[in-house]
Amino acid sequence: MKPPKTRLCALWLAFALGACLVDLDERCSEHQLYDAQNARCSCEDGFGLVDQVCVACDANEVTVNGVCECAPGFARKQEGGACEENAALGAACNDDSDCTSEEYPGCRFPAGSGEGYCTSLDCESSADCHNDYGCNTREDPSYCEQPPSGLGAACSSSDDCADFDAAFCESVVAKACVVSDCKSDPDKCHGDWVCCDIALLGDSLCVPPTQLEQGNCPAGGELIPRSP
């Protein structure tokens, strides 16, 4: 004998209501929060993913896109090493002769600015750069291009980013200041960072190439190519 339809409806409704009451963060491990946009768990601020476990960041590190990276003004002298103060990178300069560090011998000038900064030359990708500098291969020699001011700064709303070049707060996942509205001008993205038009956010953002998945933007975004 089939159960009455009203009973089936009641059972379905109870299940649906129960699902709505589930704390989504409970599905995640310790020091993780549920990322509803990408339907996955991500590390809390101050923690980074290591072997699928969120571990506390070390001294002079901050959480960037779910992993621990060196804070601005710090860099690793060797892969896997501690983040050490790195005053030579980004030091003010007028020409190459002012950049006495062997690691950062090139003086480069941001567009529209008269103040140069010391940086690395002959990079192949952002993996060769420190502190969110992006590898600019459109010039010869290539160099690690300085990130926009405020990039990666913690925020809860765009008001926290208003004084920076990275003036948009990505408050859903990264909770950090980023460069937005790059769809009309992908060259707003520094170095080899790319412009992704992300419909779920209703905006286009500059993201590091490491966030691309097989060449595709995260969250189903559309990759906006630079002008030839």
Q: pLDDT tens for residues 152-207? A: 888 889 999 999 999 999 887 778 899 999 999 999 999 999 999 998 888 999 99
Q: Give the model confidence (pLDDT) of 83-117 as tens digits.
A: 877 678 888 899 999 998 899 999 999 877 778 99
The answer on pLDDT for 37 being more than 70 is no
Within a domain: residue 212?
yes
Q: Are 32 and 44 in contact (CB under 8 A)?
A: yes
139 domain-assigned: yes
Structure tokens at 51: 């072997």
Please give the DSSP secondary-structure letter assigned to residue 154: B
Answer yes or no: do 74 and 128 share one domain.
no
171 and 217 fall within a common domain: yes
Neighbours of 168 (CB within 10 A): 22
Residues of the chain with pLDDT > 70, as a percent, come to 84
Number of domains in the chain: 3
* Residues in contact with 179: Cβ distance below 8 Å, sequence separation at least 6, in sequence order: 148, 151, 165, 166, 167, 168, 188, 189, 190, 205, 206
- pLDDT for the residue numbered 9: 30
Considering only CA atoms, which of 128, 169, 127 is closest in space to residue 150?
Answer: 169
pLDDT band at 66 (very low <50, low <70, confident <90, very high): confident
- The reply to whether 1 falls in a domain is no
Across the chain, mean pLDDT equals: 81
Range of the domain at 184: 158-224
pLDDT in tens, 17-26: 333 344 444 6
Residue 10 binned pLDDT confidence (cut-offs 50, 70, 90) = very low
Q: Which residues contact 105 (CB under 8 A, 6 or more apart)?
A: 96, 99, 118, 120, 121
